[in-house]
Every structure is written in C-alpha cells, then in structure tokens.
Chains A and B, each alone.
Chain A
Amino acid sequence: MKVLVPVKRVLDYNVKVRVKADGSGVDLSNMKMSMNPFDEIAIEEAVRLKEAGTATEVVAVSIGVPQAQDTLRTALAMGADRALLIQSDQDLEPLSVAKLLKAVVAEEQPTVVILGKQAIDGDNNAVGQMLAALLDWPQATFASKVEIAGNKATVMREVDGGLQTIEVDLPAVITVDLRLNEPRYASLPNIMKARKKPLDVKEAASYGVDIAPRLQVLKVAEPAKRKAGIKVEDAADLVMRLKNEAGVL
C-alpha cells in the first residue's frame, strides 16, 4: 500500500507574522519557514503505518518555491521514502493545489492520501475535501485516530461537540487533526540519510492543469489591536452597557 502525503512550506508557527506595508500580503522575506504542523502529523501517521507493516511506501509531495525542498527533506528525515516537488512561484489557491495533486495521484496510484486538515498560513481547510471531490474518493476529515484494515479505513473524527467514527472504502483522502499523534524528532542518522533519498523536481506547468487564480486578494491587514477593558460599577451598570454600548442584550 502506497501513502501519498502532501506537505506545505509555511511561515514557522513561532514567528510573529508581519503584514507587508503595502497591504499586499504577509512579509515572508528572510522569515523562518517550516513544514505546516498539521502536515508533520500526516507524515508521522504515514511513517507509523509503514513501521506497522500496513504501508509499503511513503511519498511526500510539496507544491511551491524551490526552497520547499527543505520541507521535503524534513519529511524524508522523518521517514518518508521519496519526495516530489512541483515547482511554482505562484501562491496557489486550494483548487489549483487539489488539481495538481489529482494529477500526482494519477501518476503515483496511492491507496490513501493523508494530509493536514489545513495549512496554518491560509487556514482554508479546503484542499483535502476538494481533492476527494475531484478524485471522487471518500473523504475522512479531522482524523484523531486512523486504522486501516483490508480495503477499509476506520477514522475517528473530531467534530463539534465530540467524536465521530466513520468507515470509508479505500482509496480515500484522510485529513488529520492535532491530536492524531505527536510527530517524532528526526534523528541525526535519518537527517543524514534523507540527503541521499530521491527527490524529484517537476514544473507545475508540465502537468497541463489550469492553475490560473480564481480569487483576487484585495487587502491584507493585521487584526485590530484589542482595546483596554473597563471596570463597571455594578451589575446594573454591566447590564446597561451590554444593552446600550455593546448592543448584545
């Protein structure tokens, strides 16, 4: 069984995000970039499936700038067997990413695609679902537990107000949530071995997929600064303010 894990290079979660002065986007120049934390969890799950003997090969794929190779090397150091970079300088929309991944699935023929439920930069939470729809595969999103047996995957999902367990036929798309597992640290020997694992680079254009943007970014701005709170006199004052000033009562 082959597992395909798409991973995205994003601004490191520890970095304080700065908006460009002209409001055209987020300033990424010379910022520390890392693998999307949800994708780390996806890689970890795939590697565990391999270690358990369920999966035979783990392939990591990333779409983006040439430096996304570093992100793929991280995936290889964690235990992926080989990697593919689809190079593009465009900031691709979820639909374009899903279309490119569909093309990769056609080439690679994986039994399951495991990916983060969302990337922490765009927070779109869309690629997994779109990919499943394009492939006409079942989808199991927000996984907090994954069991694969025979031709089926049993996935516990984090939903509003609790957990839902579903069974899907394979092949399927699984998107992972935060509590699925705790990603390992890459060991020093594996970091060294990762340099020798195969990493292919292809141009996005070579897939013949329409990746023209459908959306236009009008403005990117920082959230408004929180205003200082006030002390209310008593309960009556609170109710009055909630009614008249906040307009919530």
Chain B
Amino acid sequence: MQIYTAPLRDMRFVLHELHGLERLYALPAFADFSDELVDSVLEEAGKVTREVLLPINASGDEEGCVLDNGVVRTPKGFKEAYNVFREGGWNALSAEPEWGGQGLPKCVGSAVEEMICGANLSFSLYPGLTAGAVEALKSHASDELKQRFVPKMVEGTWAGSMCLTEAHCGTDLGLLRTKATPQEDGSYKIDGAKIFISSGDHDLTPNIIHLVLARLPDAPEGVRGISLFLAPKFLPDADGNPGQRNGIQCTALEHKMGIKASATCQLSLDNATGWLVGEPNKGMAAMFTMMNTERVGVGIQALGVAEAAYQSAVAYARDRIQGRALGGAQHPDQAADPIIVHPDVRRMLMTMRVNNEGCRALAAWVSQALDLRTHAATEEERLEAEDFVALMTPVVKALFTDLGYESVNLAMQVHGGHGYIRDHGMEQYVRDTRITMIYEGTNGVQALDLVGRKMPAHMGRYLRRFFHPVAEFIAANKADPDIGKMVEALEKAFGALQLTTAQLAQSGMKDPEEAGAAATEYLRLFGLVALAYLWARMAKVAAGKLAAGDPDAAFYSAKLISARFYYERILPQTSALFLSIKAGKGAMMEMAEAAF
C-alpha cells in the first residue's frame, strides 16, 4: 500500500531555518505573510494531499483514462478530488491576487507542489498545465484575452493545456506544421495535429483553454516562424460561458508507461478558432517564459514521488522480518530481524533520504529566486535572481529527475519481489517517475542548455551567481569546528567543477562536440556540488541548534548524520565525473555510424 505524509518538519527546516523567508516578508508583495501563516498553509496542504489525492493514486493508475465516443473520462474519484482541490483555493496558490490568486511566495508554492506530486503525480498535471498556460498568457496575451480567460483559469473553473509537440517534431519545434490562417475579424483558423498533449482533454472542467504553437502563412522557416495561439475547447458566449464547440477533438489517448490517470491526448485541430498570443512569429519566446518555470516544476515532481517512495521503503524495511543482522540477532524475541538492520538496506534508505533532503533544500533556494526575480526591491537584485534561475533551471530539472528515478528504483529494491508486483505500489512510482526525465525537454537537452547556453551567457555572469556564494561560504567556514572537514571536501569538489568549467569553456568554443560529449556528466557534477554546498549549510544550522540545546535534538542529529553520509558516500562520485569529462569525446565520436 502506498503511504504519504508530507515532510512538514523538513520543509519548515528548509524554508525557515536554512534559507529564511524574512527577506520575502519584507517585500510589499508578501507583507501579509509570516512563518506561522506559511506553516498553516503547509499543514492544510499536507492534510488535503494525504486524505484527498493519495487514496486515488493507485486506483487511478489501475483504471487509467478512457476515450469514449470522443469524450475523455478521468478515473473514478478524480473529478470529486479536483473539486475539493479547486474549492479549497489550491489551484490559485501562487497566482497574483489581481487575477484572483492567493499570492503565496513561489517557494511555499513549490513545497505544496511537492506534496501534490508525492500524493498523486497524475493528478498534479491537471492544475499544473493550467498554471503554465496562465503564466504564458499573463506575460504575453493582450489585455482583452487576459480578462476573458485568465480569472477563470486561475480559479480552476477552466483548465489549460500546452499544445507543442507534433508527430514528427518534439525537441526541434522548428519543424512544426500546424497552420494558422488570419480571418477578417482578427481571429485565426487553426489546422493541424498535435500529440503528447497532457490534459489535452478531460472531464474535470467544462472548458479547456489550449495554447497552440502554429505557423502563419508568411512565416519564415524554423523556430523564427512560430506563433502562439489561444484556442478554447468551447468558444465563450456573450456571457463568458462555454458556448459553441470549437474544432478541436481528442482523436486518441497515448498508451503510456506511467502517469496513466493523466490524459495524454492526440488532438486534431480542424478549422479551430483561435487568437494570437503575443507577437507574430515570436511564439517560441512566449512558450519559453512558461517552459522555464515548468522545468523547475518537473524536477519537483520527481522529488515528490521520491519522498513518497522513501516513506514506503522505510516502513517496509522496519516491518519486513527476514534473516538476522550480520552481527547477531537484534530482535531475538522475533522469528527474524527486520531488514532495516542490514548495511545494504541502510545504504539504499540513506541514499534516498539525502537525495530527497538535498533536492528539497535546492528547490527552495531556486524557488525563492523565482520570487525575487519578480518582486525584489532593486533592479540589481531582480537581475541577480533572474540569472540564478536561468542557470539552475536545467540543473534542477535533470538532477532531480535523475536522482528521483534512482530513489524510486531503490525503494522498489528495498521491497524485493514485493516491489516488483503491483500490490505495494512501488512499480507505479518507477513507471510514473520515468517520464520526468523525458518531458519538458529531455535531460540530455537540459545538459546542453547548461553547457551551451547558460555557461557562456554574458561571459559567465550566470555562473558567477552560483560560484560566488559557494566560494564565500567556503572561505568563511573552512575553520569551523563543526563543519570544517566537510567544507574541505566541498572546496575540493568545487575546485574540480571550476576547473572543468574553464576547460569546457575553452574546448567547447573550438569544438562544440566536446561540450556536447561532456554535458550530461558536467550537469551531474554541477548538481552534486550544489547539493554538497547545501548539505554543508544544513549541517551548520543543525550543529548550531544542537549546541544551543534545541529540544528537537533528534531531528538535528539525524540531519548531521545525513550530511555526513552525503559527504562520505555520494560526493566522491564527483572525482569519477571529473575524470570521465576530462577524457573528452573521442571514444564516442570515433565509432563509425555503420558500426553501431
């Protein structure tokens, strides 16, 4: 059976004790917030996700979505759960109050998102896609379109979808063929076919607002000729209610490995009415506004499921009695010892734990920058946050989903054969998480984004937004009696990252294939150093609390041991990455294509 309890204690640690939200509360946008209010929100979100979303996770996977006579039905209980979710205002969590949102800081929103995904990844995609569409509309649509569609989408009355992919193009959208023909009334007629459209059709809401990438008749070739359109499933009537059916049909549901309760649709657009969003031929830019936020969100999806899998694995390892501890029976009164006594089971549980807690700390850091890039007081601070988000987005997306997938696999491994059969729900976690490494830009594309775009941008200005705080922390804490030893190891790994960065910048300039060959390992190296930095900071906070005699000693001692595990057992991977990056492209590019 799947279990999930929102990790509220760790979330409070990360938000209040590690990063601190005082800087946000000082800004006019968040003046009404306080730690107590944030905690009440997290608490209630934990309750709703566990009691409403978790119970329909396994059943939704079993049942899946159905296309029946042109109508897509979500699994039993999804509509009721969506209504509870929407009526509770969770849909509008981080949206601005001017659009009917609750205006919560994004870093709090990210914690809530983690809970939603931990309880039910499939469910998360319905409100998730709506939020992405709202972002794109707010930044690029005309006021008239915004007034007509955004408030209803923010409150969750209407849902949203993003229609990018076509059968012959996903990563390279420059190849897309969907056509938009201008009409006399200023609208467009859109014709084409889309695939892989999450939430492309469903029965949760009476209307769905599609954002569609298409080409105008005179558009230039490639990505510079793509425009963004808004095309609703039902055209709103004079009163703003869903009226005439638009020419958008779900022709098939994709048969997927996981997230089966999320309706992934093939859509056919036939003379569909739509309106231009933003400038003609600037659709890719508009789409990327949304895409960057979504990518951080995908990282958090994997983290959410990995946390749920960890909790199940711990419960199973405590409960399952089998064999004896290697050093002699620990529970002589029982027929056997629980498997949690074994070092190898500990290795798996600890790996999951430090993956999750490290990623949670990084997610909160990046999400806080999402708040600062819009709301910080000075232009300089906003730019700094914007740079940092741009740099860390591919890292969060690829690192979290790689580590998350590793964690759900470990959770299955802890369960042994009981993980492979369906009853415990572990194999669902493995299937569900797998997509996060693929969608919103595969992890390979993320790695290329990091080395090809983010690394060289503005002569390394983005990089400095991360390198500087790390370097300052190392300098300030090398002699620290509690964490000095960790900081030494951090300095070494950070040195390897800096050296690799400099080498790649040079070799990549001469030969882009060198950068491409190193990209995935470079991203992992980058990510592991980022986690090491945060683990050292977490250890520092925990050591301080322990020294001050904080009554929650159990939590802080566990934090310190986890930090030690990260430094002793995970961080050494950076040395291997350093070596393989240094080896260069040779062995993979010299093989003749015919020899594969």
Contacts and interface: CB of A to CB of B under 8 A. Distances in A.
B551 A191 contact: no
Interface stretch (A102-110, A129-137, A182-190, A214-222): A182-190
Nearest to B103: A192
A195 interface: yes
B378 to A, nearest CB: 28
Interface stretch (B81-89, B139-147, B234-242): B81-89
Interface of B is mostly: helix
B36 A189 contact: no
Given A70-B40, A73-B40, A194-B40, A188 B92 contact: yes
A29 B87 CA distance: 35
A77 B5 contact: no
Interface in B549-584: 551-552, 554-555
B89 A185 contact: no
Contacts of B551: 29-30
A191 B47 contact: no
Contacts of A29: 551
A226 to B, nearest CB: 13
Interface in B1-46: 5, 8, 32, 34, 36-37, 40-41, 44
Contacts, number: 50
A30 B92 contact: no
B555 A195 contact: no
B546 to A, nearest CB: 14
Interface in A103-119: none
B292 interface: no
B37 A188 contact: no
Interface in A1-52: 14, 29-30, 32
A74 interface: yes
A240 to B, nearest CB: 28
Contacts of B93: 188
Given A30-B552, A30-B554, A188 B34 contact: no
Interface residues of A, number: 17
Interface in B66-113: 84, 87-90, 92-93, 102, 104
Contact of B90 (A14, A32, A188): A188
Contact of A185 (B8, B47, B92): B47
A191 B5 contact: no
A192 B104 CA distance: 10
Contacts of B40: 70, 73-74, 77, 191, 194-195
Contacts of A191: 37, 40-41, 44
A195 B41 contact: no
A70 B40 CA distance: 8
Contacts of A186: 44, 88
Contacts of B554: 30
Given A77-B40, A192-B32, A185 B5 contact: no
A185 B84 contact: yes
Nearest to B8: A32
Given A30-B551, A192-B32, A187 B37 contact: no
B84 A192 contact: no
B121 interface: no
Given A29-B551, A30-B555, A188-B89, A195 B34 contact: yes
Contacts of A185: 44, 47-48, 51-52, 84, 88
24 contacts: A30-B552, A30-B555, A32-B8, A70-B36, A73-B40, A74-B40, A77-B44, A185-B44, A185-B52, A185-B84, A185-B88, A186-B88, A187-B87, A188-B44, A188-B90, A188-B92, A188-B93, A188-B104, A189-B102, A191-B41, A191-B44, A192-B102, A194-B40, A195-B40
Given A74-B40, A188-B88, 14 more contacts: A14-B5, A30-B555, A32-B8, A70-B36, A187-B88, A188-B44, A188-B89, A188-B92, A188-B93, A188-B104, A189-B102, A191-B41, A195-B34, A195-B37
